[in-house]
Chain A
Amino acid sequence: MNNKKHIINRQYISLLLAMTEKEIKSRYKKAFFGFIWFFLNPTLQVIIMGVIFSLFIKIPNYFIFLFSGLLPWNFFSTTINRATPSFVYERSLIQKANFPLEIIPLSLVISNFVHLLTALLIFIPLLYLTNGLFLQNMIFIFPALIWLLIFTSSLSLIFSTLNVTYRDVNFFVQNSLILLFYGSPILYETSSIPLNLRYLFYLNPCSGIFELFHYSIVKNFRLDSGLIISNLLLTILIFFISILLFKKRSKYFIDSL
């Protein structure tokens, strides 16, 4: 019995890895410049947003600040956008064989996460050369990454599950992401928001994640511990909701596809 379980787990992991590998490979086999685009895109984004928003927002080393927010945001929004319709897109695959379906959105999450890690590995040394990087809190980038990964996976699972039954979820997600971008401390910090409005960020788990990213590489960044705690609790709640929802619905996916 024990032995059998072991085999199942290994099978699970190799399938997840193969699906992730497929995602990464097909992305770069399609376009030779795929990889270059992946770096050009955030660089241009940071330059344009940095020039415009530094007119209103006074944060020292604003470009570094933007990098530490935009890279994780790009991961988050790309992943959610692609994962939400993933079950519907893979309809025929789901009809083909009986395999753990959560692998479909999870492989998208992981492949994008690999892109994020690569980007960080290249940008952090580059930014270090510009002398604006603050290294003392760098260790906090690891909990921030893990938190981001768990939160993104949970939301991907929830939205992709709901999208099987309700096809308008995809539009809802696309539009909410635009709102969420401005509603999360990516371009600004929560400490610059008036106190009575600041509590709204307690309800948005993205805030804690992005503040933690800022904190890990921006000097003199103040972290609100109340925000982190309430956001963490919310993330845990969303995580369990995603698992329960998926378990309940996934058995009957094929009937609605």
Chain B
Amino acid sequence: MKEIVININNVTKIFNLYHSKKFLFKSIFSKNKYEKFKALNQVSLKIEKGESIGIVGLNGSGKTTLLRIIAGITKPSSGNVSVLGKIASLTELEAGFQPDLSGKENIYLNGLIIGMTKKEINKQYSKIVNFAGLKKFIDLPLYSFSQGMKLRLAFSIIVNSNPDILLIDENIAVGDKNFRGKCIEKILKLTSQGKTLIVASHWLHFLRICCNRVVWIDKGKIKLVGESKKVLNLYNKNK
């Protein structure tokens, strides 16, 4: 049996949804009304090393919350998650970019934020620049970059950060058609190198070609887990 890299054990995540914004002075005198909302309800899932997992479900079914819990960005209300290896997530691609700094300075800043060491960034630097195709522009301040250039740079930093586990939320491919192909190629290459991949998406065609297992989440619960073709066909019919 292969090594289990992600073990999600009976995870429940409850959000307190407040009817109005919370204010300090109001809270001292009166309790704010809120409703509890179970974004995830007793979810358990074991993911082995090298697996490609797709997550499908309607909007608001808990896909993003599950990814965030795996990434450690938020903590579950109950249950636990253990993760082996370095995680990188392809979400909020442009966050942390500083328009006044150059492309190069931004690579270092962003790399450190997603958990790379300075040494690793030095080593990967030319790969990041080449993959993004921004060699000519890398010393220019980021505000002179186009939207597509920024997205390419952000994508390139993350996929070249040597993650063991790659999380993808929605935006599988960015930029023009040419770069989109490159992105998908890179993602497939990472999976063939034995990296673990978790993709939450509505793009079923992509999930069909690149995932070996698909998890269907419905209203915070896992409805079905299994081989991608089977789950996707059922999902397509019953969603």
Q: Which A residues are closer than 8 A to B by beta carbons?
A: 7, 10-11, 14-15, 18-19, 22, 25-26, 29-30, 90, 92-99, 162, 165-169, 172, 251-252, 254-255
CB distance from B12 to the nearest CB of A (A): 13
What is the bound-complex CA distance between A162 and B101, given in angstroms?
A: 30
Say yes or no: A19 contacts B109, CB within 8 Å: yes
Say yes or no: B117 contacts A96, CB within 8 Å: no
Q: Which chain A residues border B91 with CB–CB below 8 Å?
A: 95-96
Pick the contact of A25 from B71, B88, B100 — CB < 8 Å? B100
Pick the contact of B27 from A15, A166, A252 — CB < 8 Å? A166
CB nearest neighbor in A for B18 = A256
The 9 residue pairs across chains A and B that have the minimum distance between CB atoms:
A92-B95, A166-B24, A98-B72, A96-B92, A26-B100, A29-B100, A96-B95, A168-B23, A15-B112
Q: Which B residues are closer than 8 A to A by beta carbons?
A: 15-16, 21-25, 27, 68, 71-75, 87-89, 91-96, 98-101, 105, 108-109, 112-115, 117-118, 141
CB-CB under 8 A for A18 and B112, given A25-B100, A167-B21: yes
CB nearest neighbor in B for A254 = B74
Say yes or no: B117 contacts A97, CB within 8 Å: no
Say yes or no: A93 contacts B23, CB within 8 Å: no
Say yes or no: B95 contacts A166, CB within 8 Å: no
CB distance from A24 to the nearest CB of B (A): 11
CB distance from A155 to the nearest CB of B (A): 15
What is the bound-complex CA distance between A90 and B100, given in angstroms?
A: 16
CB-CB under 8 A for A18 and B108, given A26-B100, A97-B89, A165-B22: yes
Pick the contact of B95 from A11, A29, A95, A165 — CB < 8 Å? A95
Write 22 A-B pairs (CB below 8 A) sorted by A numbering: A14-B117, A18-B109, A18-B112, A22-B105, A25-B105, A26-B100, A29-B101, A92-B96, A95-B92, A95-B95, A96-B113, A96-B114, A97-B113, A97-B114, A98-B71, A166-B24, A168-B24, A251-B75, A252-B74, A254-B68, A254-B74, A255-B74
CB distance from B150 to the nearest CB of A (A): 13
Q: A92-B96, A93-B113, A98-B87 given. 17 additional CB < 8 A pairs?
A: A10-B117, A11-B117, A14-B117, A18-B108, A18-B112, A22-B98, A25-B100, A92-B92, A92-B94, A93-B92, A93-B96, A95-B73, A96-B92, A96-B96, A97-B115, A166-B22, A166-B23
